Structure 1
Amino acid sequence: MPFLNRVEAGRRLARALTEWRGEDPVILALPRGGVPVAAEIAAAFAAPLDLVLVRKLGVPRQPELAMGAVVDGAEPITVRNEDVIAGAQIAPADFEAVRARELVEIERRRRFYLGSRPPVRVEGRCAIVVDDGIATGATVRAALRAIRRRAPARLVLATPVAPRDVVADLSDEADAVVCLETPEPFWAVGAAYLDFDQVEDEAVIATLARFPPDEGSARSSAPQP
């Protein structure tokens, strides 16, 4: 049964995540699409909301095909999809050019979305990473590895929809994976929604404004590794 929209998907995910509600959770969204989903979980749990700034590395001239992903941090984490890189015959210089461009975009988004807002403290807490859906898993894998570096007590991945084999692969990166729908065959994330309109930058900022900075946050606006 398709989700009405991201809000409904987030509410259904919140119900599926109830067992972690009492574990001092922090909700970490992948923008932009993951933000309205994560906001419903954060509201249901009275938990802080923050972003994981990660970008897909698209194949040149075929940007929807992911050859990897890169995530923000003092030492940015890069995940490579070696099968795609080999199949598309991507030269190292071309890969690095795309990576550099996406790091610039990550920095733009960090300043635009977060400004001086301090990052939420993750260490010792239950970190729940949320996206509105997963296709190949490269972007989410990079996000999970970045959050793992921040030493959460537990790392949970939550998404409304993903391919079954990708969910199995990502179970190596998280302590738990909660996925509501694993359609076979899997066509696209948007196919699981009746309303899958693009989430605009302004909507991300407005959503974050509903959640005050976490009292346990580091008092710095610099990105954490």
Structure 2
Amino acid sequence: MAEQTVAVKVWDGWVRLFHWGVVACMLMSYVSAKTDAWNIHYLSGYTLLALVIFRIAWGLVGSENARFSGFIRSPLAALRHLAHFTRREPDTETTHNAAGAWMVVVLLLMLLVQATSGLFTNHDVGMTYSAHGPLANAVAEGTSEWVSTLHVKFINLLLIAVGLHVTAVLAYAVVKRQDLIGPMVTGVKQLPSTSARAPRHGSAVLAAALAAAAGGAVLTITRLGG
């Protein structure tokens, strides 16, 4: 007889907004770069950077299960988790599992590198300032060119990491019968009644203040170039 489950709110709206906001920004950034729609490209890049800054802050002072201290476990714990990957078992996590936590950290760092490097990009000599990153003129030309090359090439590594993330989520659904997508949409996960403890969610006022601060910080950076 299957164990009884109950609905538990595991992800607050801020984590979900960050997650799907990043998806939208990455798609918009990629398409706009391919179509030379640079105004849209930079707008999506600025938004992405603000989202990442917010998520890092929320990972320090936000909801219990969104905090890095609440879900980052040792690499050994991640390896033990992966060793049992083929074992079909109920999902009891109210946050990222031990392996997924490290993927979250890697993706956050990679997103930060990609978005930050875009601030210093210099696409081509002779193009208008609007086609350059706002901080391109704040560093030496050689530095800007090096960072531009990094920005163009690093996206390929980021896309590979995203692909691995998506593949892992689908694998959990197929192999372990664990739905990781639904809770990131609704915020609610079905958990065994014996382990269904809802995490403490952070203050909406604090989250709004952090989001505003992140947006303000990015807006200030974009104006530093003059």
User: TM bucket by the smaller chain?
Assistant: under 0.3
Q: Say which structure is richer in strand.
A: 1
Q: Say which structure is richer in helix.
A: 2
| Higher relative contact order, chain-length normalized (CA < 8 Å, sep 6+) | 2
Question: If you compute each CA radius of gyration, which structure gives the higher value, 1 or 2?
Answer: 2
